[in-house]
Structure 1
Amino acid sequence: MSLQQVIQRFAQGLSIVFHPIFIPMAMAYVILDTSPFRYPLGDYRFVVPLLLTGIFTIIYPIFMLLICRGLGLVKSVDLSERRDRIVPYIATSSFIFWAYFMMRKGSDPVIGQIDILTYHNPLFEAMYLGVFFTLVLLLLCTLFWKVSAHSASSVALVLLVYHVAPYSNESVLPW
């Protein structure tokens, strides 16, 4: 295996690990981890927001992407073409807004009040809105140009860490 192939595989591995679909989960973990007294590790107040974030930002979008692939709305699941990204961005934006609504109201419009969601954190609301508006901005830019979702999601994560750091119970930044 040549050095070029090793570098290419390493870059592909990094692209998968830091895929934009996983960034909201990392953001939720940062919020939970920086408030260990409010969200003790292993407690349902720690697990439920992670589950909610995982379902709405990973499971639903992947399921929807597979449906779009099956229906022929997208050519491939890696969304390499600009036009392939439009439908997944719209659907994922709606999932993110649904998650925001559930966190904001502590309930689901269909099944009603969810007692576990009454311990909402304004940072989660801000996170979901930030991800939603980032996706909407990506969607609008994608109509004209091919924009990197990796860089947009990475910037969102860095901004969240920068915003959370001064209010954290633990040090998140090295300075």
Structure 2
Amino acid sequence: MSTKLFITSEGLQQAEENPENRVNPVLKALANFLSYLFHPVFVPLYVIAFILFVEPFLFVGASAQEKILTLGRAFINYTFFPLISVLLLKGLNLISSIKLKERKDRIVPFIVCNIWYFWIWYVWRGLPGVPHHLVVFSLGVFLASSMGLLANIYLKISMHAIALGTATAFLCLLTFDPSSSNITIYLALAIFITGIVGSSRLILSEHTPREYYMGLGVGVLAVLVANLVA
């Protein structure tokens, strides 16, 4: 660990540049658990499962088989392919860690995931029976990932924040749908999850507040743009 010299009223003092973050082990374990539970590769799947099975007003008349097929497509493109891609990149030594701790390690995964995100949006937009809001969400995920790639040039933007910002903004959008039921409680839950996951990332010293807030802004902006152009 590197050190720096500081001039104080008591003279020249030496201090650690990045002092070890002393966190309660239980709190740290909880923060790690939440970080994995709401990992960016899972969040889109949670949202789609929500609108398929919890509040299925967008899929009125759809059979159980059609809903499972839609969820399967979402799993393959939002979870399975991105995970496999990261593992392959690590196997080829194109990234130093599958946790993508370094900003430079995130460039290629962002690009690869954008391919899968673009593909599922492109398929859903031309597929009969797919609700407009689902097309908006899939486009929002693609735009958020694209904006995240650009933002990653300047800072290690939080992928967790991008995913949760996109999900929360989309649920907020659903509350204005005249055919929807009252989902205020779910929107409040999404905001709460976004907050505790953000706290978890800060506890683990994975991001600064600026990086997390920037990620939230990217997610919200992406959904707003998607809603306008989809």
TM-score interval, smaller chain: 0.7 to 0.9
Name which of 172, 176, 179 aligns with 1:166.
176
Deviation at 1:45, TM superposition (A): 2.3
Deviations 1:67-108 (A, max 9, x none): 1000000101000000000111111111011001111122xx
The TM-score normalised by the length of structure 1 is 0.85
1:1-175 equivalences under 5 Å are: 4-32=24-52, 33-36=54-57, 38-39=59-60, 43-106=64-127, 118-167=128-177, 168-174=179-185
The TM-score normalised by the length of structure 2 is 0.66
Deviation at 1:48, TM superposition (A): 1.4
Deviation at 1:123, TM superposition (A): 1.1
Deviation at 1:46, TM superposition (A): 1.4
Deviation at 1:27, TM superposition (A): 1.7
Aligned partners of 2:58 and 2:133: how far apart in 1? 15
Deviation at 1:15, TM superposition (A): 0.4
> Structure 1's 157 and 139: CA in aligned 2 closer, same or farther, altered over 3 A?
same
Aligned partners of 2:125 and 2:170: how far apart in 1? 18
Deviant stretches of 4+, over 6 Å: none
> Structure 1's 77 and 171: CA in aligned 2 closer, same or farther, altered over 3 A?
same
Specify every segment of 5 or more residues in structure 1 that has no aligned partner in the other structure, as ranges: 107-117
Between the two proteins, the alignment pairs up a number of residues equal to 163
Aligned partners of 1:68 and 1:101: how far apart in 2? 25
Structure 2 equivalent of residue 115 of structure 1: none
Deviations 1:19-39 (A, max 9, x none): 111111112123323234835
> Structure 1's 74 and 159: CA in aligned 2 closer, same or farther, altered over 3 A?
same
Aligned partners of 1:91 and 1:147: how far apart in 2? 17
Contact kept, 8 Å, 1:40 with 1:46, in 2: the verdict is no
Contact kept, 8 Å, 1:56 with 1:96, in 2: the verdict is yes
> Structure 1's 102 and 125: CA in aligned 2 closer, same or farther, altered over 3 A?
same
> Structure 1's 40 and 47: CA in aligned 2 closer, same or farther, altered over 3 A?
farther
Aligned partners of 2:60 and 2:76: how far apart in 1? 19
Deviation at 1:49, TM superposition (A): 1.4
